[in-house]
Structure 1
Amino acid sequence: MLTQLNHIRARRADLRRDIDVVHSFEAWEESCVPSYCHPNWLAAYVSWIRLFRAAELARTIVPAPARILDFGSSVGELGHLVSEGGAGYDFVESDQHSADYLVSRLPGARRVTLEDAPEGGYDQLFAIDSLEHNENYAELLEVLAGKLAPGGVLILSGPTENRLYRLGRRIAGFDGHYHETTIYAIEAVAERLLARRAVRQVLPVAPLFRISAWARKS
């Protein structure tokens, strides 16, 4: 726990040093940066801890991955937990500012598109709070499933959009207009494509986000 808190403090300080979230909120709103840097420590902690939960869940299924793909990576905070210095870490990110920041912190990271990412090329594949931002999430998920290597794991995470989540989002100052769907709808598509291995909640007592692990069907 202390190691996690020290990591969060260090990364929050780095983000705040280089990104003025207050005066450029609209530019970063759809990313996770305002949540990571939120002045309310509890609101920020929920955003950070889901990264730790996702990385831990992936490691229980694929303990020593060599090839990682982070879809919708934002500024790449997950990359600090799942790869050493960016080695073996590919990412898909449409926002240039986020991608530039990511590479400045993880110089070994490689930016790819879904088109050029290799089929069956990844041992750990993450879509953390990203698919729900897209109307064509089902199509994207089908493409992502094809990138999964035999024996690999796909980790999905997203907001539940339940009443508690929506209340917390309003209190934190976000409106969520960019969310096109829920994690339940995304998981329903995943059920058709892959085999579910596990489901976790970020906070067991507060079902705000769900994290799930998926593998190729036998």
Structure 2
Amino acid sequence: MNEIYTSSKKKFKTVFEMLVKTNDSYELGEAALPAYAHKNPMIDWLFWKRIQIAYNHANNTKKAKNKILDFGCGSGVLSYMLAQNNHDVIACDIEFSPLNLVKKSIKFPSNIHFVEGNILHKNLESNSFDIIYALDVLEHIDDLEPYIKLFDQLLTPDGLILVSGPTENSLYKLGRKLAGNRFTGDYHVTNITKIKKAFSPYLEVSSLRKLLFPVVLFELFEAQKKTTTPV
């Protein structure tokens, strides 16, 4: 499993480095390609660690093969890794400009189904996903409630959602400025604490991992369907 992560990271980072050198588009910044291509070891660790945690998370479940929704798939790197390990993946994003550039250099596995556009308007099967990933995407959405309700509807009874997002504390904002103006975040409308709070009325939420240097910059949490108490 670690071999898939390591080899995939090397492959994608090489492509990302090439793309950010030759393309200065706003869409590449939205997909965080400048961050994933960064040569600073701390920035490299901070961004790729969330991908690694999500990849390992899927492979550590009881099922050897999961049906997974990668919500806000961006460049497609997580979807690629999961599909390499034989999971069935639906990868969705509001638009695929960065992904289409990556696809020119990397062939994606056939067990990924790509869905472009607003997922609220797509006809996905209820109770069909074992895992839903929403990595560093929900902080861009003003009204989270419709998406959280949809996630709850799409999950299998024992399914899990894994969410990551920034804390938006002062050190996080300073680091973003120091990293350069090609980094995402200037239009974040919320933070991971508020996202967790938005999930709580609908799903059981538990903290999974905090990424810090020297304070918490990103947090990952899990959510699952609420258990009903017998009357």
Cα distance in 1, alignment partners of residues 64 and 87 from structure 2? 13
Q: CA deviation at 1:137?
A: 2.0
CA contact (8 A) 1:138 1:186 kept: no
Give the structure-2-normalised TM-score.
0.82
Cα distance in 1, alignment partners of residues 102 and 151 from structure 2? 21
Cα distance in 1, alignment partners of residues 152 and 82 from structure 2? 19
Cα distance in 1, alignment partners of residues 160 and 213 from structure 2? 22
Range with bigger deviation, 203-212 or 163-172: 203-212
Q: Aligned with 1:180: secondary structure?
A: coil
Aligned to 2:73: 73
| Match among 111, 114, 119 for residue 114 of structure 2 | 111
Shift of the 134–62 alpha-carbon distance from structure 1 to 2, 3 Å rule, reads farther
Q: Aligned with 1:105: secondary structure?
A: coil
Q: CA RMSD in A?
A: 2.5
Cα distance in 1, alignment partners of residues 33 and 184 from structure 2? 15
CA contact (8 A) 2:145 2:198 kept: yes
User: What is the number of equivalent residue pairs in this alignment?
Assistant: 216
Q: What are the superposed Cα offsets for residues 153-207 of structure 1, whole Å, 9 maximum, x if unpaired?
A: 1001000001121111111113622211111111101111111244211347531
Matches within 5 A, 1:50-199: 50-84=50-84, 87-101=87-101, 104-108=106-110, 109-112=112-115, 113-114=119-120, 115-173=122-180, 174=183, 176-199=185-208
Shift of the 86–206 alpha-carbon distance from structure 1 to 2, 3 Å rule, reads farther
**Runs of 4+, deviation exceeding 6 Å:** none
Structure of greater Rg: 2
- What code does the residue aligned with 2:107 have? R
CA contact (8 A) 2:30 2:184 kept: no
Shift of the 21–116 alpha-carbon distance from structure 1 to 2, 3 Å rule, reads farther
Give the structure-1-normalised TM-score.
0.86
Q: CA deviation at 1:209?
A: 0.5
Residue 208 (structure 1) aligned with residue 210 (structure 2): no
Cα distance in 2, alignment partners of residues 152 and 65 from structure 1? 13
Aligned to 1:13: 14
Q: CA deviation at 1:148?
A: 0.9
